């Protein structure tokens, strides 16, 4: 396999590149380094068959160069920020939808035969069915981020069916790991390092979601390759949930601190921010039917991530 990984210097992308190289594949990591880092790829720099291309998914010439000789694309490049105060609707649209459209235009004129697209559980909005299956409808995102990912799903599906390549669309739970630079675990560790006596928690602390360790996510991305359907959708997540307060307890335990918790109360019924889905749990039966299982449950993924962040110092 000759694979292009967009967002290849990022948190998930760099882990995917490492796994693909280890499996003997030729890999091009493509990233504009707006949030990713070449440090994440340092161990691969001398690996045969690996190259890094700095470029932007919104620039046709950059994408064409990155796609050279590729037959498989893993599209992970995106603005991952769900909180609207940290990413404007325009920024989310450009980095998620426009970038996907430019990539797809290049793919249709290339030798690429298969694409894996990293989507998100936020496309479901606030489903009335938990665990939520891929067949759930209607899809009503409550964040601009979720809406841009849903729009990108539609583009990937339409291009795949119109221009004869296969597409695997993965709706991911909260993916965690030591290279993650945002999210609740990173936020809590940063706050407690500044002040181990108190911890401000956004919302009311009852938000419950599924968390998946990055290695499990990477295995899922590789597992879905070479299936018979032209376009297929897979939920990827753990089979359980943890609350924000439980995450705080785990991290405080790892740091051996006992701060006073101060809940902000949040918005719209205890959410951390507008657009925050308060409860999420995915039905993963479809990908499990392929033989994939997560190695870690949600609490284990959170604990392992916190331990590794703290070990890095």
Active-site residues, by number, are: 145
- Residue 51 host element (H or E): strand 50-54
Residue pair 234/224 in contact (Cβ under 8 Å)? The answer is yes
Q: Please give the Cα distance from 14 to 306 (Å, whole number).
A: 19
Q: Closest Cα to residue 219, out of 16, 75, 72?
A: 16
CA distances from 250 to 124, 299, 304, 308 (A): 28, 8, 10, 13
* C-beta separation of 76 from 42 below 8 A: no
CB contact at 8 A, 158 and 97:
no
Under 8 Å between Cβ of 165 and 114: yes
Gyration radius (Cα) of the chain, Å: 19
User: Residue 276 is encoded by which pair of tokens?
Assistant: 């925050």
**Which of 282, 280, 129 has the alpha carbon at shortest distance from 138?**
129
Residue with tokens 């033989």: 291
Cα distance between residue 14 and residue 45, in whole Å: 12
C-alpha–C-alpha distance, residues 117 and 235, integer Å: 12
DSSP SS3 for 198: strand
How far is 32 from 80, CA to CA, in rounded Å? 14
The gap between the terminal CA atoms of the chain, to the nearest Å, is 37
The residue count of the chain comes to: 313
């Amino acid at each position: 396999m000759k694979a292009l990984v967009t967002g290849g210097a990022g948190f998930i992308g760099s882990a995917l590149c490492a796994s693909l190289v280890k499996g003997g594949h030729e890999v091009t990591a493509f990233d504009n380094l707006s949030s990713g880092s070449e440090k994440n790829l340092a161990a691969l720099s001398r690996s045969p068959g690996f190259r890094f291309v700095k470029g932007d998914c919104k620039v046709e010439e950059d994408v064409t160069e990155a796609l050279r000789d590729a037959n498989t694309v893993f599209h992970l490049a995106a603005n991952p920020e769900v909180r609207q105060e940290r990413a404007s609707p325009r920024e989310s649209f450009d980095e998620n939808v426009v970038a996907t459209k430019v990539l797809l235009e290049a793919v249709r004129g290339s030798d690429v035969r298969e694409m894996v697209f990293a989507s998100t559980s936020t496309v479901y909005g606030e489903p009335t069915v938990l665990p939520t299956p891929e067949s759930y409808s209607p899809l009503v995102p409550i964040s601009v981020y979720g809406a841009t990912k849903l729009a990108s799903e539609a583009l990937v599906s339409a291009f795949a069916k119109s221009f004869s390549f296969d597409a695997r669309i993965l709706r991911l739970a909260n993916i965690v790991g030591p290279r993650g630079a945002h999210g609740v675990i990173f936020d809590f560790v940063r706050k407690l390092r500044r002040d181990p006596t108190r911890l401000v928690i956004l919302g009311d602390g009852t938000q419950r979601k599924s968390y998946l360790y990055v290695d499990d996510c990477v295995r899922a991305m590789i597992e879905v390759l070479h299936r018979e359907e032209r376009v297929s959708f897979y939920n990827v997540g753990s089979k359980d949930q943890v609350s924000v307060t439980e995450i705080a307890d785990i991290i405080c335990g790892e740091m051996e601190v006992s701060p006073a918790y101060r809940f902000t109360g949040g918005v719209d019924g205890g959410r951390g921010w507008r657009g925050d889905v308060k409860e999420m749990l995915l039905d993963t039966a479809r990908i499990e039917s392929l033989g994939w299982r997560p190695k870690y449950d949600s609490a284990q993924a959170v604990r392992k991530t916190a331990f590794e962040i703290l070990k890095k110092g």
